[in-house]
Amino acid sequence: MDTYQLLAYRQLGLTQFQQLLLNLPEKASETDYFVDRVIRNLSNLPSRPETVLPYVGLYGAKLDLDEYREYRDVAASRLFELVMRLPSMHEVDAEIDKYIRVLSNLPERGLAVEPYVRLFVLRSLNDQPDALQIAQDFSATQQFVTAEQLIQIAGTNELESRIRALTLGMNATLAKFNINTNQRISPFLVQVMHESGVPLALRNLGTD
When pLDDT is averaged across residues 152-175 and rounded to a whole number, the result is 72
- The per-residue pLDDT for 98 is 93
pTM of the model: 0.60
* Count of Cβ atoms closer than 10 Å to residue 4 Cβ: 18
Domain boundaries, the chain: 3-136, 139-196
Query: Sorting pLDDT into bands at 50, 70 and 90, what band is 59?
Result: low
* Count of Cβ atoms closer than 10 Å to residue 65 Cβ: 10
pLDDT > 60? residue 146: yes
- The per-residue pLDDT for 35 is 92
- The per-residue pLDDT for 95 is 95
Average pLDDT, the chain: 76
Q: In angstroms, rounded to a whole number, what is the distance separating the alpha carbons of residues 197 and 203?
A: 18
> Cα separations (Å) of 109 from 91, 106, 187?
14, 9, 41
18-36 pLDDT per residue, tens: 888 888 887 888 999 999 9
pLDDT > 90? residue 4: no
